[in-house]
Structure 1
């Protein structure tokens, strides 16, 4: 958790209004959460804090790329990530993070740890199906793709299919209007 100290936002000395914080997210961040879905990560997170007299409003924006393996070919590629998240921090008697959008912290706190929210925003911003862009435009050449193409079922064109003459007569009724 030592790596996550940079994701603590102290709000006690800040004036009321909007404040901006920048964070760089890389592989070490995800290692802290023991998340191994990404080969590598290079993400920028912008945190906007609007301090009000009774609450704090956070707005998180993430952009960058993560290197993942394609679900079809297992080829690594850089996947662009864009995402956002809003969080409201209120003050109460005890810590409560049961609600996804509202965090309640004790009155005596002077900082907010936002690493968990940034982690969840990034993970939820990645698509569930990760397909290499070279598959869609046909530029990716892979042994696995060639094998899938070879094993794909072939369409059989059979024009000699005989139909029941009773059905042909009924089909004529549909067109006779």
Structure 2
């Protein structure tokens, strides 16, 4: 996968301390990853990089909305999302991203690309079960909801009739009580 230049941070020329980076994420970003679950997206990502002498600390904060289809009605709606993530970048002998919140890069590196982290944060922030808010509060009028209601099984009232028992069991019960 080709790295997007706008998400590459060159940290060698930066002074020690905190630095701010802001990104606006739209559908073109997700098309780069060949991810087509979102109809539309409008997410603002703020990255605070704190450069220290031996490591880098990246704090990701994002909020916005993605337009997805409801799992019940297939109606599109805007799903609000927000999340934070902290990443520690250390220097070592070889590249290692086995840890979720720690990245080790070789000593000679001078830049880091954060596009994969932003992609995963946004995609994992969307709930796995997507339900239109109108379905939950009952304000959505949809032909699919009406059809689901029509096809749902009817609630049956419990039958309150006297139980008829098998006469063979009655004789066996009598054996227990006739001692």
Answer whether TM exceeds 0.5 for this pair. yes
Residue number in structure 1 paired with 2:67:
67
> Please, which moves more after superposition, 144-153 or 2-11?
2-11
Corresponding residue pairs, total: 165
- Cα contact 2:20–2:49 (8 A) shared by 1: yes
**Matched residues in 1 for 2:82 and 2:137: separation?**
22
1:42-98 CA distances to partner (integer Å, 9 max, x unpaired)? 100000111111000111011001000000000011110111111110111221112
1-structure distance, mates of 2:9, 2:150? 55
Indicate the residue corresponding to 1:89 in structure 2: 89
Q: CA deviation at 1:141?
A: 0.6
Residues 3, 29 of structure 1: 8 Å contact kept:
no
- 2:143 corresponds to: 143
Q: Once superposed, which parts of structure 1, at least 4 consecutive aligned residues long, lie more than 2 Å away?
A: 158-165
> CA distance change for structure 1 residues 143 and 14 in 2, over 3 Å: closer, same or farther?
same
Unmatched tracts of structure 2, length 5 or more: 166-179
Task: Give secondary structure in 2 for the equivalent of 1:23.
Answer: strand
Contact 2:89 2:103 in 1 (8 A): yes
Name 1:155's counterpart in structure 2.
155
Tell me the secondary structure at the aligned position of residue 22 of structure 2: strand
> Could you list the per-position Cα deviations for residues 18-51 of structure 1 after superposition, in whole angstroms to 9, with x for gaps in the alignment?
1111011111110111111111111000001111
- Asked if structure 1 preserves the Cα contact closer than 8 Å seen for 2:3 and 2:113, the reply is no
Whichever of the two has the greater Rg, that structure is: 2
Counterpart of 2:48 in structure 1 is 48
Give the superposed CA RMSD.
1.7
Q: Does 1:115 align with 2:115?
A: yes
Q: Could you state the TM-score of these two structures normalised by the residue count of structure 1?
A: 0.88
Any unmatched runs of 5+ in structure 1?
Answer: 166-177
Question: Does structure 1 residue 29 correspond to structure 2 residue 10?
Answer: no
Name the structure 2 match of 1:39.
39
Q: State whether structure 2 residue 6 is matched by structure 1 residue 17.
A: no
